[in-house]
Amino acid sequence: MSLSIVLFEPEIPQNTGNIARTCAATGVKLYLVEPLGFSLEDKYLKRAGLDYWPMVDLDVLKSWDEVESLLDKENFFLVSKFAERTYTEIAYPDDSILVFGSESRGLPDYIKEKYKERLIRIPMRSSARSLNLSNAVAIMAYEVLRQHGFPGLARAFQEDV
């Protein structure tokens, strides 16, 4: 089982640091699509990721075109508050790719339109503008991992050997 997270033009270093920590703890691959709203040397990014950074499988891609040429588009699931289907309605394949937009703009219309059949949402109150990006990534990543029996993750706390 391989799961990937794609952050399209993330803006807030603390969110990306938290997401990197989740990816490190779960073995999920992380892709960041430029332009980034911060430097990878940002102190807030590093602080949010703590000492997990060496465990993060991270690639930085130059553009959305690079994402489409590198990754299997058939396994894209794009998270947007404008989607009709909820994330729980999907049976995620082994090599799912979860795509998230930037904190202030979300995913651009041209991407949402191209993949409209693969848009999913996390339910929330209509009066709420959005969930925090790092929380949304955690919800989605753990749902995909749950559907596959949490592969490679410890069932109870134990020291790594």
108: number of Cβ within 10 Å: 14
For position 52, what pLDDT does the model report?
82
Residue type, 37: G
Domains and CATH numbers, the chain: 4-147 (3.40.1280.10)
pTM value is: 0.92
CB distance 13 to 106 below 8 Å: no
Helix axes 133-147, 13-26, angle to 10 degrees: 20
Tell me: the pLDDT tens digits for 66-108?
999 999 999 999 999 999 999 999 999 999 999 999 999 999 9
Return binding residues: 79, 101, 122, 130
Read off the tokens for 4. Answer: 């990937």
Distance (Å, rounded) from C-alpha 70 to C-alpha 67? 5
Distant-in-sequence, close-in-space partners of 26: CB < 8 Å, separation ≥ 6: 3, 141, 142, 145, 153
pLDDT at 10 over 70: yes
Question: Does the structure show a pLDDT above 60 at 160?
Answer: no
Distance CA 138, CA 26 (A): 10
Feature table: binding site for S-adenosyl-L-methionine:
79, 101, 122, 130
Per-residue pLDDT reduced to its tens digit, 35-55: 999 888 867 667 766 678 889
Write the DSSP assignment of 29-80 as a string of letters.
EEEEESSPSS-TT-HHHHHHHGGGGGG--EEEES-HHHHHHHS-GGGEEEE-
- pLDDT for 43 equals 77
